[in-house]
Amino acid sequence: MPELPEVETVARGLAARVTGDVIESVWLGDKPQPLKSPAEEIVSALERSRIAAVRRAGKHIVFDLEQNGSEPRQWVVHLGMTGRLLVSRPEAEVAKHTHAIARLKSGREIRFVDPRRFGRLAVSPAFAAAGAEPLDISLEDFATKFHKSKAPIKSALLNQKLLSGVGNIYADEALFRARVRPRRRACTLTRVELRRLYVALQKVLNEAITAGGTTVSDYVGSDGSEGMFQFALRAYQRHGERCLRCRKTKIKRIVLGGRGTHYCPCCQK
Ligand SMILES: [Zn+2]
């Protein structure tokens, strides 16, 4: 499932390609699952709208739309497990599992393709993700949020009501770098540990954004390119391999809150 860095990569790729373009017409497929708003609402919000900006909010991609004589609207896309947003030439073959096509004035098309159909399309007048942005939150607010949680710190990091967009890969990587054991209750972390975790999380997310995200299963960017961050992973799915910090203990895998969790039993306390 794409996480914050992958969604950021897709949003940046789209922003560079379609900002300022105008959606002339919209085609929606007949599968009901991808549509979180009524089809006619999506069509009326998108058609004849200018794309003023494309950005990421949590794990959502938000197209800010401007339409003459109407309130600004947003087209909100969640990629789910296998969703992709592609910018295609009209003559390019329409992929199987294409659920929406927005035809642009420039002649290109934005296509939403999603084989497993966990992705979602919606329109909203003022979309905001539920949790705080991990790259914008202050250390003070970060510490306050996690100090109140009795959940294991790994589960708290994944809680989208606390932070928006952190998923399994980057939670494991941030905890490894901060030397904090995933099972620890969040409220038991000291100020020093919370600070280490805050710094580690922002660092790992920013590095992954720079690398274009992590390619797991079939995630690809808006131009079909693959991310490179999988080569920089230090804990995630390295179970059985030697820890890169202490160089003696093997990375262990446990299941925590139903999610595969990877850590070094020697380095992470
Ligand atoms: Zn270690």
Structure token digits, residue 161: 């009501």
- Per-residue pLDDT, 46: 97
Please say if 36 is a catalytic residue.
no
81-114 residue pLDDT tens: 889 999 999 999 999 999 999 999 999 999 999 9
Angle, vertex CA 208, rays to CA 207 and CA 210, nearest 5: 65
What is the distance in A from the centroid of ligand 1 to the CA of 177?
10
Please say if 140 is a catalytic residue.
no
- Determine the residue type at 21: D
152-203 residue pLDDT tens: 999 999 999 999 989 999 999 999 999 999 999 999 999 999 999 999 999 9
- Of 104, 130, 126, the closest CA to residue 27 belongs to 104
Out of 6, 8, 34, 59, pick the active-site residue.
59
What is the distance in A from the centroid of ligand 1 to the CA of 173?
13
* Rounded distance between C-alpha atoms, residue 243 and residue 233, angstroms: 11
- Whether 217 has a pLDDT exceeding 80, the answer reads no
pLDDT band at 27 (very low <50, low <70, confident <90, very high): very high
Residues less than 5 Å from ion ligand 1, measured at CB: 243, 245-246, 249, 264, 266-267
For the chain, how far is it from start to end, CA to CA, in angstroms?
A: 28
- Whether 221 has a pLDDT exceeding 80, the answer reads no
- Whether 220 has a pLDDT exceeding 60, the answer reads no
The runs of H, that is alpha helices, within 97-178 are 139-147, 153-158, 168-178
Q: pTM for the complete prediction?
A: 0.84
Please say if 12 is a catalytic residue.
no
- Whether 130 has a pLDDT exceeding 90, the answer reads no
Rounded mean pLDDT of 38-62? Answer: 95
* Rounded distance between C-alpha atoms, residue 106 and residue 141, angstroms: 43
201-214 residue pLDDT tens: 999 999 988 887 76
